Structure 1
Amino acid sequence: MRLALLCPGQGAQGRAMFELARADSAAGALLDTMIAQAGLDAPVDAVLADDTLLFANRHAQPLVVAATLANWKALERDLPAPAIVAGYSIGEVAAYAVAGALAPGAAVALARVRAGLMDASLGATPHQALVPVSGLPLDAIEALVRQHGFHVAIVTGDDSLIAGGRADRAAGLAAALAAAGARSSLLPVAVASHTPFMAGAVAPLAAALRQALSDPQVPVLSGISGERITRRDKAVEHLSRQVAEPVLWRECMDALVESGVTVALELGPGAGLSRMLQARHPGIATRSVADFRSLDGVRGWLARQAD
């Protein structure tokens, strides 16, 4: 088995996002520590119960990282060492913690800093949006996106991407996409991540990363290039640039195949990354911890892949 671990971004968080990890006492204790370091401005139970709070950038980023790393803590001792780790958007911060370049608490603190810098970058354009689009070739989608003042934020497939731009232009973009035969929706976020709108966050995030990151002990895929990162200096550069440049998740999925990965486990919350990878590369046995009711279920599935 050559195992890849996948760390998700925002979008799948919910009230039950910590339940699986809390079944393990060590993971539950770590989770409590990380939540205390997340800088929430309301009790965690109140945040989990209110989608307005839970999907706010300042809460979502540190809590998604905390959930991912708590699940990793619960499973780490029973899993083979990963061959590679990949993270989607804020999940790339969690990926560096899984790879040993960050302590879990430091990763949650960095997620909090990252969210604050991105929120501060809203500046003169306070109302932003992310729009998933599919159903047309990428070049056709990109042309329509540019015509409406949007930027490519994340490339997810050969005919799908997420675009970021001004919220007041989202309806016009959606109408143009529908007329061209594409499908689109609106994500529950108010920050155009991975676009030039976030350029002001790059330098201060790089400074924070230099203080926290060390060399990863396992290669981490760069979200902006799909290349394997094994050095701290490269990690700082790519992880800081990522907030203002497109995430090439399609290339990251292809890089898993090139790295000889045979099994991939998404650490949750959610199962979006595992579903994308399963659709694009069905030869890789892929699941998410969110697919299972218990940690033993995850362990059992992984054991069967090793047989």
Structure 2
Amino acid sequence: MSLALIFSGQGHQHAGMLPWLAPDALTQALCERLGVADWRAALADTAWARRNRNAQQLITATALAAWRQLADELPEPLGIAGYSVGELAAFGAAGVLTPTDALALAAQRAELMDEASRATPGGLMGVSGLARDALLSLLRDTPLAIAISNGADRVVLGGPQRALDDFEPLAGRHGARCTRLAVDVASHTAAMQPAADGFAERLRLVRFEAPRCPLFSNTAQRIWRADAAREALARQIASTVHWDDCMDQLAMRAPRCVLEIGGGQALAGLWNQRYPDIPARSADEFRTRQGLSRWVAQCCSA
């Protein structure tokens, strides 16, 4: 076993993603849930694509459909993790949730997060090139929080849209690079605590299994039991995602290669910057499933 799997989060979905993905029962269920004939055509509408309810279901369903179509051609993963909403797909791939339950939970997660954000519209912004101490100093008198930690000088901030608007030029004057993400809620901040509490209640009604392979949560803790998986999925909605630590946990298992499943190449890029000796690519880069499988086979046999 020499492959690690990472599942993409929100913000990089696009109409041409995963070009080799064939229609199946899961993508059909996705279209029925979203009320569209073709999820790719729907993604061409930027406003539709960034809507939280649409995005979270689409990311979960397409990632799990992609893994189901790849699984028989790839080695069993030595570790699995998912980034933000990508945890639902990761937990599905690890056998903790059925694909049907994961998709239903994606809709419920989005609904609860949207409800929590109605009072104060929020968002996310990537910030890089600023040392952590300097960043924390700038954040001190703002309502913003670190939603995701991707590295020592690479984070995603969450909070009210107006506060993000004000912080962007301030951070720029201190040498930071800022990128607004196509997400309309302040995920992984205290503003989402009502959503986390509500999701915990929903999760109690769903059957969970112990993972079939090593699975790591956004707190970088390994998930061994079904009850721990249930708790982790609820908690991460209102807590910082420690993706840098999560990558470290996977790297300690010494994979020969890492495959990101989802839209875009953001996670593969982060991995390659942190671990240049362990190649990572996104399933979104490949034109065919066969080409993807050949790349993994070449890495694992090297």
Structure 2 residue aligned with 1:98:
93
Distance in 1 of aligned mates of 2:300 and 2:25? 29
The amino acid of 1:72's aligned partner reads W
Structure 2 residue aligned with 1:176:
170
| TM-score, reference length from structure 1 | 0.93
Structure 2 residue aligned with 1:162:
156
* Correspondent of 1:61 among 37, 56, 65: 56
The amino acid of 2:224's aligned partner reads T
Structure 1 residue aligned with 2:283:
289
Deviation at 1:134, TM superposition (A): 0.7
Helix, strand or coil at the partner of 1:153: strand
Helix, strand or coil at the partner of 1:19: coil
Structure 1 residue aligned with 2:11:
11
Deviation at 1:41, TM superposition (A): 4.7
Deviation at 1:209, TM superposition (A): 2.1
Distance in 2 of aligned mates of 1:30 and 1:42? 15
Distance in 2 of aligned mates of 1:33 and 1:44? 9
Contact 2:18 2:286 in 1 (8 A): no
Mapping of residues 218-297 of structure 1, within 5 Å: 218-223=213-218, 225-297=219-291
Distance in 1 of aligned mates of 2:192 and 2:38? 27
Structure 1 residue aligned with 2:67:
72
Distance 1:118 1:104, change over 3 A: same
Mapping of residues 74-153 of structure 1, within 5 Å: 74-125=69-120, 127-153=121-147
Contact 1:206 1:236 in 2 (8 A): yes
Structure 1 residue runs of 5 or longer lacking an equivalent are 23-27
Supply the RMSD in Å over aligned alpha carbons. Answer: 1.5
Contact 1:31 1:70 in 2 (8 A): yes
Deviation at 1:287, TM superposition (A): 1.1
Distance in 1 of aligned mates of 2:19 and 2:253? 32
Contact 1:262 1:283 in 2 (8 A): no
Distance in 2 of aligned mates of 1:176 and 1:282? 32
Deviation at 1:206, TM superposition (A): 1.5
Identity %: 38
Helix, strand or coil at the partner of 1:264: strand
Distance in 2 of aligned mates of 1:185 and 1:36? 30
* Correspondent of 2:42 among 39, 47, 68: 47
Structure 1 residue aligned with 2:192:
198
Deviation at 1:189, TM superposition (A): 1.5
- 1:159-218: CA deviations, max 9, x gaps? 010001111122210121011111112112210000001000112211222332221111
Helix, strand or coil at the partner of 1:132: strand
Distance in 2 of aligned mates of 1:153 and 1:203? 18
Deviation at 1:147, TM superposition (A): 2.3
Distance in 2 of aligned mates of 1:95 and 1:235? 11
Structure 2 residue aligned with 1:25:
none
The amino acid of 1:5's aligned partner reads L
| TM-score, reference length from structure 2 | 0.94
Q: Give the count of matched residue pairs.
A: 299
Deviation at 1:155, TM superposition (A): 0.4
Helix, strand or coil at the partner of 2:255: coil
Structure 2 residue runs of 5 or longer lacking an equivalent are none
Contact 1:150 1:164 in 2 (8 A): yes
Distance in 2 of aligned mates of 1:148 and 1:43? 43
- 1:206-235: CA deviations, max 9, x gaps? 122233222111121110x21111211111
The amino acid of 1:192's aligned partner reads A
